[in-house]
């Protein structure tokens, strides 16, 4: 939902008109799919990374507007919280220039931004949830200055009619209430984009859903929130709760949540957009001037503004994206599952594993989603979020198995095969997937390092809890800049 919106209030007529126009957009989208007008010749991949801002003591720095001004690069934008930023890496062919080129591009962009931020006393951190973030840091005053986030906040709370309950029962227990959606800003992710042809979209989305739990188990990097040690990837339950528009009475009636895994395998991308219009009332009923049907009748491509704006307020872990670039429409799967960080090297390995594995699963004669219930895929996601790399996951043909064993024995060979199909030879694949392999062999990722380091500082060095979290975060930042994969980080 990257489009800016004005600060305003909505009338009943606004909502009726938006619903009508969203349905009109859906009809035009169906027509576009029938007429095969989509760009399928040069499929690309893309990457977005959300980051936290901290001060010299690793405490959150509420300075996103100043840091954006200092960076002065349109690739960077505000996020929900004043202690967040996001970078959008330009899309590319997966094999263009090789993975080293892409990694260098990302590191150069992050290093440039870090230098500009440091000049005004702030620093960037790639991490799923910021360990030094305290409950009092996430109030309405911490919302980004961008009006769209204040408007979104007001609409969510108008729908709920009461404060948000955030409750996570993990290593320790967290129970707190929030009067704004700002706790969502604690959830920072890596988002992998994959452009696909319309006729291949369902298979790619189903495959991405099937591997979501595996992605979380491997990449977990969010064990701390508000001073508590919770799940390995606490970002998952936090995000599900922090944007929930449903009070308890509505939730128990089976109304779908806006942070949604889904409820079934699909046969077409149309299924997802149609579910959006059927199940979810508009949060931001803003109407565009374009008449999509007339635009298409003229031989031009409509942007389907209402359909895409509505889609941006439904937070699927794998989101469908419709976009128009240079007058040509395309479709993407936006994979929102992994957390940010710990390093660019880790992010690149996570991306290689995801792209390769999805490609291999799509090519199988008997797809995994025909042998696995949708409920099992969702259960894998939450089991992995809770236990991280120590999780046991279900996979067809193996049953319930440790995530590390599943990856080493079954999924890494598939990821190699998929990347080879996509044009990456062994010289490119081995360094990227080798990081995933060693992560599994050592059973160590960002979440494991954070937890072990905190306990070393707190239980053995006898620092108090806030001091141990600050010291751990400062060490994390140092290792992040070295760009050695997190499974190699020592506990100091």
What is the residue-wise DSSP string for 344-355?
A: HHHHHHHHHHHH
pLDDT of residue 214: 98
Q: Which residues contact 261 (CB under 8 A, 6 or more apart)?
A: 209, 212, 316, 317, 377, 378, 381
pLDDT of residue 217: 98
Q: What is the dihedral of CA 252, 255, 259, 261, to 10 degrees?
A: 90
Mind listing the pLDDT tens digit for each residue in 374-414?
999 999 999 999 999 999 999 999 999 999 999 999 999 99
- List the chain residues with pLDDT less than 70: 1-8, 99
Q: What is the dihedral of CA 173, 179, 185, 186, to 10 degrees?
A: -20
pLDDT of residue 1: 42
pLDDT of residue 65: 96
As a whole number of Å, the end-to-end CA separation of the chain is 41
pLDDT of residue 9: 78
Stated length of the chain = 492
Q: Which residues contact 124 (CB under 8 A, 6 or more apart)?
A: 51, 52, 53, 85, 110, 113, 114, 117
pLDDT of residue 146: 86
DSSP H or E run through 48: strand 45-54
Cα radius of gyration (the chain): 22
pLDDT of residue 6: 56
pLDDT of residue 3: 52
Residue with tokens 């108090």: 464
Is 214 in a helix, a strand, or coil?
helix
The predicted model scores a pTM of 0.95
- Quick one: tokens of 449? 């390092």
């Amino acid at each position: 939902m990257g489009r800016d919106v004005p600060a305003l209030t909505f009338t009943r007529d606004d909502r009726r008109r938006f619903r009508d126009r969203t349905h009109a957009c859906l009809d035009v989208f169906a027509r576009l799919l029938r007429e095969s007008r989509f760009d399928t010749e040069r499929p690309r991949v893309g990457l977005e990374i959300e980051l936290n801002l901290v001060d010299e003591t690793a405490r959150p720095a509420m300075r996103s507007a100043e840091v954006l001004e200092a960076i002065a690069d349109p690739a960077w934008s505000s996020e929900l919280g004043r202690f967040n930023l996001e970078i959008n890496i330009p899309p590319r062919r997966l094999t263009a220039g090789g993975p080293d080129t892409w990694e260098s591009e990302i590191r150069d962009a992050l290093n440039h931004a870090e230098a500009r931020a440091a000049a005004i006393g702030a620093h960037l951190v790639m991490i799923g949830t910021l360990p030094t973030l305290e409950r009092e840091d996430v109030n309405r005053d911490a919302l980004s200055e961008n009006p769209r986030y204040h408007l979104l906040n007001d609409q969510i709370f108008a729908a709920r009619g009461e404060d948000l309950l955030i409750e996570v029962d993990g290593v320790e227990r967290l129970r707190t209430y929030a009067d704004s959606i700002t706790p969502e800003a604690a959830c920072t992710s890596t988002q992998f984009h994959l452009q696909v042809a319309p006729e291949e979209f369902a298979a790619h989305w189903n495959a991405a859903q099937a591997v979501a739990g595996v992605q979380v188990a491997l990449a977990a990097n969010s064990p701390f929130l508000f001073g508590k040690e919770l799940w390995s990837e606490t970002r998952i339950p936090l995000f599900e709760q922090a944007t929930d528009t449903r009070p308890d009475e509505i939730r128990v009636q089976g109304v779908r949540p806006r942070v949604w895994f889904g409820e079934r395998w699909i046969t077409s991308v149309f299924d997802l957009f149609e579910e959006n219009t059927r199940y979810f009332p508009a949060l931001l009923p803003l109407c565009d001037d374009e008449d999509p049907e007339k635009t298409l009748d003229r031989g031009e491509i409509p942007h389907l503004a209402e359909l895409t704006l509505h889609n941006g307020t439904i937070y699927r872990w794998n989101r469908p994206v419709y976009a128009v670039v240079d007058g040509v429409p395309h479709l993407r799967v936006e994979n929102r599952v992994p957390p940010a960080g710990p390093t660019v090297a880790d992010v690149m390995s996570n991306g290689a594993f995801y792209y390769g594995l999805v490609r291999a699963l799509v090519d199988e004669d008997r797809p995994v989603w025909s042998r696995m219930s949708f409920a099992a895929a969702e259960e894998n996601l939450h089991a992995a979020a809770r236990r991280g790399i120590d999780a046991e996951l279900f996979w067809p043909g193996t049953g319930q198995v440790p995530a590390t064993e599943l990856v080493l024995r079954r999924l890494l060979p598939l990821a190699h095969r998929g990347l080879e199909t996509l044009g990456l030879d062994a010289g490119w694949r081995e360094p990227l997937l080798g990081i995933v392999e060693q992560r599994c062999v050592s059973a160590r990722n960002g979440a494991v390092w954070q937890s072990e380091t905190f306990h070393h500082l707190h239980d053995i060095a006898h620092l108090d809890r806030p001091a141990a979290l600050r010291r751990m975060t400062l060490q994390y930042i140092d290792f992040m800049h070295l760009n050695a994969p997190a499974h190699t980080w020592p506990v100091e």
